[in-house]
Amino acid sequence: MNSPKIAIVGATGAVGRVFLQLIEERAFPTSAIRLCASESSWGKKLSVNDTALVVEEVTTKVLRDVDIVFIAAGSEVSRRIAPIAID
């Protein structure tokens, strides 16, 4: 099986950063990582496994392009994004 493509929604928040830390510490196998957050964080760069990744808007296209979505955002955002991620 190929390594999954993942997205982390809320990547710049406290819980999102823990996700990123765990991915590195546990050598979580991924073929791609997409980082999503609120508009105020779009364009920021976060380092994951020594690779700079750009934070982007969570869109239907992003969610379609990944195999697993970790939602580390507040309840309002989670309620809005989860049904889209499931589809």
pTM of the model: 0.88
pLDDT digit string, tens, across residues 18-70: 999 999 999 999 999 999 999 999 999 999 999 999 999 999 999 999 999 99
Residue 7 in this model has a pLDDT that exceeds 90: yes
Q: What pLDDT is attached to residue 80?
A: 85
Q: In terms of Cα–Cα distance, which of 3, 44, 45, 58 is closest to 27? A: 3
Per the model's pLDDT, the better-predicted residue between 86 and 46 turns out to be 46
Helix (H) or strand (E) holding 63: helix 60-64
The first and second tokens of residue 29, run together, are 């196998």
Per the model's pLDDT, the better-predicted residue between 61 and 87 turns out to be 61
